[in-house]
Amino acid sequence: MDTGKTKTGIREYLKQHYLIADGAFGTYYGEKYHTQELPELANLYHKDRVTEIFDEYLDAGADLIRTNTFAANTAVLQESTETVEELIFEAVRLAKTSAEEHAYATGREIFVAGDIGPIPTVSEPDYVAVEQEYERIARSFIAKGISILNFETFPDMEHILPVIHKIRQEYDIFVMISFSVNQYGYSASGLSARRLLSEAAKSEDIDAVGLNCGVSAGHMCQLFDRMELPSGKYLMALPNAGYPVISRSQLQFGNTISYFAGKMQDMASLGVDILGGCCGTNPGFIREISERIRKTAKQTRVTVQEQTESRKAPARKGFLYDENGVRKQKKLIAVELAPPFDADDEKLLESAHILKNANVDVLTFPDSPSGRTRVDSVLMAAKVRQETGMEVMPHVCCRDKNALAIRSLLMGARINEIHNMLVITGDPLPSMARQTVKAVFQFDSVGLMKLAKEMNEDILSDQPLCYGGAINQGRRNFEVEMERVRRKMEAGAEFFMTQPVFTKEDAERLRFLKQETGACIFCGVMPLVSRKNALFMKNEIAGVNVTDEIVDRYPENGTRQQGETVGVALAKEVIAMVDDFADGYYFTFPFNRIHMLEQIMR
């Protein structure tokens, strides 16, 4: 018997046997006891119910049971850290007691895994706090003798992989991770099942990878059958019992037990090692799987060898490249044009035509900055490209669109000859707007870049998107910003646009970042046009370092010409400060004063 004390037991077991996991706890709990209460709370208030369900799954033939802790976190339970820890401790005790009793009575090897589900995040998540809670949860299991951790129903690994690595450095544990995807094979983060399993398999800290929830056994089998299965890891399959429908106020799933078990047999023949169920499954499903699988000899997984033929890389398009797909060597110029608040685009199009003749390499279009509605950045970019033929770069933020909408948007941009994107997390909604408008923030800019990278390697592979990110050199903890730049580069970012540079301190920070990361950096240049403009930027815009000295250079009641003269001089000083390391300049002109560009670049 192994109830999570060592990883050797489960490893040795899996070399010779399929491992039958239990089925759903949550949906079966609601069905069995006719309740909609959170099943995790039963660890504290209905312990007999928890034990009864474990006993049923073990009697049905499960070799692995997962603790009743999928949603045991402060965000879902709305309880204190201490209460969540107490719940986890009791959940472990109940699971281990059932496992030990069944192992003693039957002589079977039985395993217990600490179950960890995703921690939901709000519109402006504190990812550091989220990772800290994952770590606390993992350590709570380990403190009670559990050394098999099961991370399930995740859309990606971004905020759990660092935790897993940290824990594995200290403890000898067996780590399982499974992802939730739809029937087309994509997770809520927009990543494909193929990529998720492949990336997880690269980690030395993970022992078993797989899929759970999201899809039926039939669709999960199709997904496994179509992909190159990862080697060197144990493979898991825990599908739903079909797709849910509401009938007489009850959630019901479509698969019959016989059909479900047949598909699980098919997945075992493909090389799946750990088989069980998720939403809608119950002990009846596990009994049928167990009876069929135990009659089957363990299959050796057949993996498709990666093709070694070198394929010619497609010629790159985008403002960074010339007509032959070669990276340009000159300093490039990007100019931001803010889409209008209404449907009148005449002034913007006039500006675009003027900039076409001013040696500008790309025009950028912000995505409703500050959460105020403007014309859609991608549609605006498409029209400007159509009318001017210039390279355009819409900003795409995570605030307003989920993964499905963003995938559609990137494909739509592609067919409209938009080759560049600036990927940003996005400004939060104004506080008053939150009463009627809900932000999405399904992921941050790094997550969106990973989605874009996935698409570049898949459906956009013949003409990959050229995308970059933002740098906030004014961030108080610059080490955090440096790390984010590295993560963005790993996610495929080819360039970075900075916040406007105003001081030598800004320039020094960016110079250091360039030296440390090698990032392609476009330094932000904003020619302030008046004292009022300077005061507004100093006091109202976070992350912009406008000093009193800069404000004082503008006359109190100066004319428009006087203000622009100071702005041009400041912009030239900024360019001189960053010229030795900047790959280009990112101009933002207050009040659309684009005519200043010619004076600045003389």
CATH topology of 8-293 equal to that of 332-600?
yes
Q: What is residue 251's predicted lDDT score, i.e. its pLDDT?
A: 54
Residue scoring higher pLDDT (542 or 601)? 601
For 488-507, the pLDDT digits (tens) are 999 999 999 999 999 999 99
332-600: which CATH number, 3.90.550.10, 1.10.8.60, 3.20.20.220, 3.40.1010.10? 3.20.20.220
Provide the residue ranges of all domains of the chain, joining segments of one domain with +.
Answer: 8-293, 332-600
In the chain, pLDDT over 90 holds for what percent of residues?
Answer: 75
Q: What is residue 190's predicted lDDT score, i.e. its pLDDT?
A: 80
Q: Quick one: average pLDDT of 21-43?
A: 95
Q: Quick one: average pLDDT of 117-134?
A: 86
Q: H helices within 209-299, ranges in order?
A: 217-226, 257-270, 283-293
Q: Considering only 138-142, 201-205, 406-410, 435-439, which range has the smallest mean pLDDT?
A: 435-439
Beta strands of 338-489 (E only): which ranges?
362-365, 392-397, 420-424, 466-471
Q: What is residue 245's predicted lDDT score, i.e. its pLDDT?
A: 63
Burial tier of 472 (Cβ tally within 10 Å: 0-12, 13-18, 19+):
middle
* Residue 467, beta-bridge partner list: 421
Q: Quick one: average pLDDT of 86-101?
A: 97
Q: Considering only 58-62, 142-146, 295-299, 419-423, which range has the smallest mean pLDDT?
A: 295-299
For 278-296, the pLDDT digits (tens) are 999 999 999 999 999 988 7
pLDDT(254) > 70: no
Instruction: Dig out the tokens for 548 from the structure.
Output: 């009193």
128 contact partners, CB below 8 Å, separation of at least 6? none
pLDDT(397) > 70: yes
In angstroms, rounded to a whole number, what is the distance separating the alpha carbons of residues 103 and 110? Answer: 6
pLDDT(427) > 90: no
pLDDT(199) > 70: yes
Q: What is residue 307's predicted lDDT score, i.e. its pLDDT?
A: 35
CATH topology for the 8-293 domain? TIM Barrel (3.20.20)
In angstroms, rounded to a whole number, what is the distance separating the alpha carbons of residues 578 and 396? Answer: 27
In angstroms, rounded to a whole number, what is the distance separating the alpha carbons of residues 530 and 558? Answer: 7
For 570-601, the pLDDT digits (tens) are 999 999 999 999 999 999 999 999 999 999 99
pLDDT(3) > 60: no
pLDDT(310) > 80: no
* Number of Cβ atoms within 10 Å of the Cβ of 591: 9
Dmax over Cα atoms in the chain, in whole Å?
92
Instruction: Dig out the tokens for 504 from the structure.
Output: 């030598």
Q: What is residue 110's predicted lDDT score, i.e. its pLDDT?
A: 96
Backbone angles phi, psi at 580, to 5 degrees: -70, -20
* Residue 523, beta-bridge partner list: 585
With cut-offs at 50, 70 and 90, classify the pLDDT of residue 253: low
In angstroms, rounded to a whole number, what is the distance separating the alpha carbons of residues 192 and 179? Answer: 10
Q: Considering only 178-182, 229-233, 491-495, 551-555, which range has the smallest mean pLDDT?
A: 229-233
* Residue 394, beta-bridge partner list: 365
* Residue 392, beta-bridge partner list: 363
With cut-offs at 50, 70 and 90, classify the pLDDT of residue 433: very low
CA 236 to chain centre: 22
Q: What is residue 311's predicted lDDT score, i.e. its pLDDT?
A: 47
Burial tier of 372 (Cβ tally within 10 Å: 0-12, 13-18, 19+):
exposed
Cα Rg, the chain, nearest whole Å: 28
Strand 148-154 vs strand 174-179: parallel, antiparallel, or unpaired?
Answer: parallel
* Residue 471, beta-bridge partner list: 498
In angstroms, rounded to a whole number, what is the distance separating the alpha carbons of residues 405 and 188? Answer: 11
pLDDT(312) > 70: no
Distances from the Cα of 113 to the Cα of 3, 31, 103, 205, angstroms: 8, 23, 15, 16
Q: What is residue 316's predicted lDDT score, i.e. its pLDDT?
A: 85
Ordered strands of the 111-116 beta sheet: 19-20, 274-275, 234-240, 208-216, 174-179, 148-154, 111-116, 64-66
Q: Quick one: average pLDDT of 419-439?
A: 71
Q: What is residue 2's predicted lDDT score, i.e. its pLDDT?
A: 53
CA 404 to chain centre: 13
591 conformational bin, left if phi > 0, alpha if psi -120 to 50, beta if neither = left
pLDDT(99) > 90: yes
**Residue whose pair of structure tokens reads 């970012």 in the numeric block:** 493
Q: What is residue 434's predicted lDDT score, i.e. its pLDDT?
A: 47
Residue scoring higher pLDDT (515 or 251)? 515
Q: Which of 3, 249, 264 is nearest to 109 (CA)?
A: 3
In angstroms, rounded to a whole number, what is the distance separating the alpha carbons of residues 136 and 161? Answer: 14
Instruction: Dig out the tokens for 347 from the structure.
Output: 């002034």
Answer yes or no: pTM beyond 0.75: no
